Amino acid sequence: MSHLFTSARWWRDGSSCNLHVSTDGKVTYRGPDEPFADDETDLQGAFILPGFVDCHCHILATGLDLQKLDLTGCASREGVLDRVRERAAVTLEYGWLLAVQYDQTRFEDGRHLTADELETATNGLPAILRHTSGHACIANRTAVDLADTSDEKSGEIVRDEAGIPTGVLLEKAMQAVYRLLPKPTRQEMSDAILAAAQRMSGMGITSAADMGSTHDLEDQIWAYRNAAERGARLRMRLYPNWSQVFKSKIDLAELLPPSPMLRIGGVKLYADGAIGAATAATYEEFTVGGTGQLMYPAEELQRRVSIADEAGYSIAIHSIGDRSTDVVLDALASTRDPSRHRIEHAMILSDAQIARIVALGVCVSMQPEFLLRFDHAYKRQLGDERASRLKRVRSLLDAGVALGFSSDTPIVPGNPWDGIRMATEHPTEAIAYDEAVDLYTRGAAALDDDEDFGRLDLMQFADFQVYAENPREQPSPGPRLVAFEGITAAPSSHGAEA
Ligand SMILES: [Zn+2]
């Protein structure tokens, strides 16, 4: 059935906008006229925008995190312990106390909790507090005692002078405790994906790319297919971890035939860590000392990139520090077409690196909302001056780099309007409102290789969101309506969250 949405106003200039959508969900007219349609919806002067595209987030993890203790806003060790104590008092399904958004950089002295301090609040339960960066965690003494802490192959199990683990686990060493957790079933994962899709749709997001894969890949793909079949209100693109794709010899094309709603987008690789955990690989030292760590030696990254490139995948590489990004650019330079591949984050960039990104045609995915949530951590780890030069959006746009915005939720709450606002308020690299919205719609879609939505142009899919008030004047509004490919839904209350 064709559909005409009438009396909308176009987001860029407020001009009168009617949208005619054909039976296959594509835009067949956009403008002031009213072509005939089988059905009609009066949008009553609301503002219409393309749906947001979040080209780097963690859909499944977002859904699973909705069930964990959220430590957002805890600015002292005592504050964290109080929340943990409350949670420990109620019975937990798996017998583990799991929390997210722990952030020691908010404490006055920046010192981590210790395993023994945490133990005092956990009522005998094993407990893990995941750092807000996702690159570190704190385990209590019970969890540390359950874990095998002798086989740290990579990352770091931090120890005191006597060699006893302090409870702080960095990067891959976090697996020592996370591997002990009961795994979610396929059905639980599907439920989590549905919950996350609903939350994201409530923020006006119509397409999202899930970066990486932490559970069994076949189970995970089953869960995504199941969630899509059950009507998840989100287009989903999956970028499983390189090692899962190439070490298990899974035939992804067979496991997941591509569709406009759900398909494999590429593979994910990590080149370094994060600034908050001082594990990003930088040239200049962190204020806490050290220059971070590369995930692999350059030759190994090169080898992995070559294998993925030869198998025809688009490669998305996590790289935050400038030292890491040079290694990544070296590896991508050897691919057949570097413009098919992406750097995720690229937080610290020199002018020379931007010029090299342009010359190679490599794409960049950035998360402006980080500047809102982690400003305090960046200043602490890098000093004010270096922190003010992170995420060089203005320079990348001026240089003509293929750039797209994303959130990395659940690392941050992930409301695109918060990212857009931060990009327009960047201390040294501010961009205009229209540019920021464009990067969170068309720009992000292009990075996922989706050319058939993101602009509401003719013959594109009619993925859109609608606001009663002009979002240009309302900093973080929630959409009144989100629609795409035959799925139209009033968003839940999540959309209005600040
Ligand atoms: Zn991520």
Percent of the chain clearing pLDDT 70 (strictly above): 96
- CATH superfamily for 3-50+462-496 is Urease, subunit C, domain 1 (2.30.40.10)
Residue 434 C-alpha to ligand 1 middle, in angstroms? 25
Residue 386 C-alpha to ligand 1 middle, in angstroms? 22
Kindly report, residue by residue over 249-270, the tens digit of the pLDDT: 788 888 999 999 999 999 999 9
User: CA 461 → CA 17, 24, 27, 53, 450, distances in Å?
Assistant: 16, 8, 6, 13, 10
> CA 122, CA 333: separation in Å to the nearest integer?
50
Residue 316 C-alpha to ligand 1 middle, in angstroms? 10
Winning range, highest mean pLDDT, from 85-99, 248-262, 436-450: 436-450
Kindly report, residue by residue over 382-394, the tens digit of the pLDDT: 999 999 999 999 9
Residue 202 C-alpha to ligand 1 middle, in angstroms? 21
Choosing among 3.20.20.210, 1.10.10.350, 3.10.310.70, 3.40.309.10, the CATH entry for 95-178 is 3.10.310.70
User: CA 466 → CA 44, 52, 199, 260, 436, distances in Å?
Assistant: 10, 11, 16, 22, 18
Q: In what order do the strands lie in the sheet with 342-345?
A: 267-270, 315-319, 342-345, 363-366, 403-405
> CA 402, CA 433: separation in Å to the nearest integer?
18
Domain with CATH 3.10.310.70 in the chain: 95-178
Length of the chain: 498
User: CA 494 → CA 38, 236, 329, 413, distances in Å?
Assistant: 32, 19, 38, 10
Residue 376 C-alpha to ligand 1 middle, in angstroms? 20
pLDDT of residue 493: 41
Kindly report, residue by residue over 358-377, the tens digit of the pLDDT: 999 999 999 999 999 899 88
In degrees to the nearest 10, what's the CA dihedral of 359, 362, 368, 370?
-110
- H/E run at residue 422: helix 416-424
pLDDT of residue 479: 86
Answer for the pair 19, 452: CB distance below 8 angstroms, yes or no: no
Residue 430 C-alpha to ligand 1 middle, in angstroms? 23
Residue 239 C-alpha to ligand 1 middle, in angstroms? 11
Kindly report, residue by residue over 127-146, the tens digit of the pLDDT: 999 998 888 999 999 999 99
Domain with CATH 3.20.20.140 in the chain: 54-59+184-447
Q: Can you tell me the mean pLDDT for 394-403?
A: 98
Alpha helices in 21-76 (DSSP H): 59-65
Worst-scoring range by mean pLDDT, 35-49, 239-253, 301-315, 394-408? 239-253
CATH number of 54-59+184-447: 3.20.20.140
Domain with CATH 2.30.40.10 in the chain: 3-50+462-496
When the pLDDT of each residue in the chain is averaged and rounded to a whole number, the result is: 92
pLDDT of residue 153: 75
State pTM to two decimals.
0.86
pLDDT higher than threshold 60 for residue 490 = no
- Select the more confidently predicted residue: 489 or 188: 188
Residue 367 C-alpha to ligand 1 middle, in angstroms? 10
User: What single-letter DSSP state applies at residue 26?
Assistant: B
Residue 485 C-alpha to ligand 1 middle, in angstroms? 27
Residue 34 C-alpha to ligand 1 middle, in angstroms? 43
Q: Can you tell me the mean pLDDT for 407-413?
A: 93
Kindly report, residue by residue over 421-430, the tens digit of the pLDDT: 999 999 999 9
Q: Which two tokens stand for residue 113?
A: 């909790």
